[in-house]
Amino acid sequence: MREFIEKMLESIRKSDSEIYEIMMSEVLRQEKSINLIASENFVLDDILACNGSILTNKYSEGYPMRRYYGGCENIDKLEQLAIERLKRLFGAESANVQPHSGTQANMAVYFAFLSPGDTVLGMELNSGGHLTHGSKVNISGKYFNFVPYGVDKKTGFIDYDNVRKLAHEHHPKMIVCGASSYPRIIDFHEFKKIADEVNAYLMADISHIAGMIIAGLHPNPVEFADFVTSTTHKTLRGPRGGVIMCKKEYENKINRAVFPGTQGGPHQHTIASKAMCFRNAFSKEFKEYIHDVVKNCSSMANEFISLGMNLVSGGTDNHLLVLDLSNMRITGRELQERLDSANITTNKETIPDDKLGPQITSGLRIGTSAITSRGMNENDCKTIANLIYLSCTDFDSKKSYIVDIVEGLTSKYPIYL
């Protein structure tokens, strides 16, 4: 086992055998399975080290040089460093690195610039939007009047004419763009034009595509959007957390909305690992990694198509693809369960106009960030696509074959062992 991981586990084993058992099982699960969850990744040891560091001991409510606690002189430097790196990475005027998660980042923007009942345009869940973009089961959909827009049902691409029509009809105070499960480039410039036509704020949630933006494989919304939110744990390959970037004129309102508006003390151990993650993201290696993620996804997509499977929007421009299973005589849930039992981890996903609910679904979302982090390449991606195809068509007789191939691939590309 990698020395760093081994030391960490040994220390846990000595103090708490129950946690150790669970942790060890999870190490093996991650090691032995092919992780195709588009929102997950494997962080580098420097990120793990910061996240598990003594910085967790420090309370630091407030912002650099304006804290409510003493003893923040080192923390101030740390948080300022994270802010400066993030601003430089995306070319942003202002940044807040305190949100505990992507959800917290989005809530803070809403809290800063919306009042309960305000109208907002957000992408519907079935088209790939996120819960925090106005779902009825989320506080965003309960407190604000979200009007959903979606993709063109035939093409699977965002229907910008419809977004424009809805904007002129409903006069939203804010338009939210960005998605959890949209495989295509998002035209932030077009969203900005629409927002300007109706005098709405524009918020871009780049949680999934942040890595592609840094690598130059996706347009950067920072010049167009009033607010840009992101998670740091998906394609950015950093710690679990969120960030907000905005124009300088909004900085004070955003900062107040994060603290004291919606959060308490910042997690400085996570802010240290965010700063590390931003530093890593400047590197040539990170950009090469993201190019490989996209190449891998595109090669998997092409293989699915050659096997006769349908993809929402017919393909992918980024790190994820969505299988439309409606012609495969299997639901998203069934396929996810079959794959789970063969150590391939995925998630069921609704597709545009899905007749089945979110618990069953007609789709499956697949991402290549995590497998690329462990070194898998385009040929491996073709192999994996074939395993998924066999899991749809001939699972009972092919299961042991699939399990063997998975075992071979995960042994060839170790993470911890």
Which positions lie near ligand PLP, rule CB under 6 A? 39, 101-103, 106, 130, 132, 178-180, 205, 207-208, 231, 242
- Catalytic annotation on 190? no
Nearer to ligand PLP, 125 or 167 (CB): 125
Nearest approach, Cβ of residue 296 and ligand PLP (Å): 20
In the set 240, 253, 295, 398, the catalytic residue is 240
- Catalytic annotation on 59? yes
Length of the chain as a residue count: 417
In the set 103, 132, 229, 231, the catalytic residue is 231
In the set 59, 143, 413, 416, the catalytic residue is 59
Nearest approach, Cβ of residue 375 and ligand PLP (Å): 25
In the set 205, 226, 317, 349, the catalytic residue is 205
Q: How far is residue 118's CA from residue 373's CA, in Å, rounded to a whole number?
A: 42
Nearest approach, Cβ of residue 233 and ligand PLP (Å): 7
- Catalytic annotation on 240? yes
Nearer to ligand PLP, 95 or 179 (CB): 179
Nearest approach, Cβ of residue 210 and ligand PLP (Å): 10
In the set 61, 76, 223, 378, the catalytic residue is 61
For 115, other C-beta atoms within 10 Å of its C-beta total 10
Nearer to ligand PLP, 107 or 194 (CB): 107
Q: Tell me which amino acid residue 325 is.
A: L
In the set 234, 237, 338, 374, the catalytic residue is 234
Nearer to ligand PLP, 233 or 333 (CB): 233
Q: Which residues of 158-188 are buried (b: 16+ CB within 10 A; e: fewer)?
A: bbeeebbebbeeeebbbbbbbbbbbbbebbb
Q: How far is CA 230 from CA 37, 50, 67, 237, 279, in A?
A: 17, 20, 25, 12, 16
- Catalytic annotation on 76? no
Nearest approach, Cβ of residue 405 and ligand PLP (Å): 29
Nearest approach, Cβ of residue 178 and ligand PLP (Å): 5
Which residue is at the shortest CB distance from ligand PLP? Answer: 102
Q: How far is residue 170's CA from residue 33's CA, in Å, rounded to a whole number?
A: 47
- Residue 159 near residue 152 (C-beta atoms within 8 A): yes
Nearer to ligand PLP, 177 or 406 (CB): 177
Nearest approach, Cβ of residue 331 and ligand PLP (Å): 22
Nearer to ligand PLP, 194 or 206 (CB): 206
Nearer to ligand PLP, 51 or 101 (CB): 101
Which residues participate in catalysis according to the annotation?
59, 61, 205, 231, 234, 240
